[in-house]
Chains A and B, each alone.
Chain A
Amino acid sequence: EDQVTQSPEALRLQEGESSSLNCSYTVSGLRGLFWYRQDPGKGPEFLFTLYSAGEEKEKERLKATLTKKESFLHITAPKPEDSATYLCAVSSNTGNQFYFGTGTSLTVIP
């Protein structure tokens, strides 16, 4: 069964303190792995798509990487405005839906 597990559930960082969020997945034929950011009271906002192991994508202080079993979202020198819930999702070659993890709630303290 396709599934996604994210860890940790919550993370508190001091401003400037780098860290990583983990997304472990099980899928029968990965079509794509997606990272989204969700702010309170809003819908998820797309960040990255990764398609194959070894692929990396960067955007400002965020960098996403992918292996055959997991993906990491690295946050370098975070700022308070990076505080949000980060969601990971996968889509498979055999299905027509996305499977989402329950997210990591990130709080960056000034």
Chain B
Amino acid sequence: KAGVTQTPRYLIKTRGQQVTLSCSPISGHRSVSWYQQTPGQGLQFLFEYFSETQRNKGNFPGRFSGRQFSNSRSEMNVSTLELGDSALYLCASSLDPRTYSGVLFFGSGTQLSVL
């Protein structure tokens, strides 16, 4: 069974640009969550999508947005990039994190560098 696939693996952008990251969850998983990971802050929750609906959102500015398609694939977009957006962006899929099984399966992430 294929794992969670994130593309691209690495990305270099300049301030003010926008970026779109892609995530393909494990087959059969309907929930996709996004996290930002930085050395000082650890994993910070961005948002979660389930069946194309955003169910929960973390404390990030509106420049961060996402969506989920009918095949459960998800994209996140960051507009007007800032230097502080440099981080590893992780996607995690799950059957449904609201259930007790609640295990998240992570992709390898997209390493975004903003210059």
Binding site for B on A (CB under 8 A): 31-32, 34, 36, 41-46, 49, 51, 87, 89, 91, 95-103
**Which residue of chain A lies nearest to B40 when distances are taken between CB atoms in the complex?**
A102
Instruction: Known contacts A96-B48, A100-B43, A102-B42; decide if A43 and B90 are in contact (CB<8 Å).
Output: yes
Q: Is B98 interfacial (CB 8 A cutoff)?
A: yes
Q: Which residues of B contact A91 (CB under 8 A)?
A: 97, 102
**A43 adjacent to B98 (CB under 8 Å):** no
Contact of A46 among B41, B105, B107 (CB under 8 A): B105
Given the complex of chains A and B, what is the CA–CA distance between A49 and B33 in angstroms? 18
**A32 adjacent to B100 (CB under 8 Å):** yes
Given the complex of chains A and B, what is the CA–CA distance between A87 and B42 in angstroms? 9
Q: Is B8 interfacial (CB 8 A cutoff)?
A: no
**B109 adjacent to A46 (CB under 8 Å):** no
Binding site for A on B (CB under 8 A): 4, 33, 35, 40-45, 48, 55-56, 58, 90, 92, 97-98, 100-109
4 smallest beta-carbon distances between A and B, as pairs = A43-B106, A102-B42, A100-B43, A96-B56
**B41 adjacent to A45 (CB under 8 Å):** no
**A51 adjacent to B100 (CB under 8 Å):** yes
Q: Which residues of A contact B101 (CB under 8 A)?
A: 49
Q: Which residues of A contact B4 (CB under 8 A)?
A: 43
Contact of B43 among A31, A51, A87, A96 (CB under 8 A): A87
**Which residue of chain B lies nearest to A6 when distances are taken between CB atoms in the complex?**
B42
**B42 adjacent to A100 (CB under 8 Å):** yes
Q: Which residues of A contact B41 (CB under 8 A)?
A: 102
| Minimum C-beta distance from A95 to chain B (A) | 7
**B100 adjacent to A97 (CB under 8 Å):** no
11 contacts between A and B (CB under 8 A): A31-B100, A32-B100, A32-B102, A41-B108, A43-B90, A43-B92, A43-B106, A43-B109, A49-B101, A97-B45, A97-B56
Given the complex of chains A and B, what is the CA–CA distance between A102 and B90 in angstroms? 15
Given the complex of chains A and B, what is the CA–CA distance between A101 and B41 in angstroms? 9
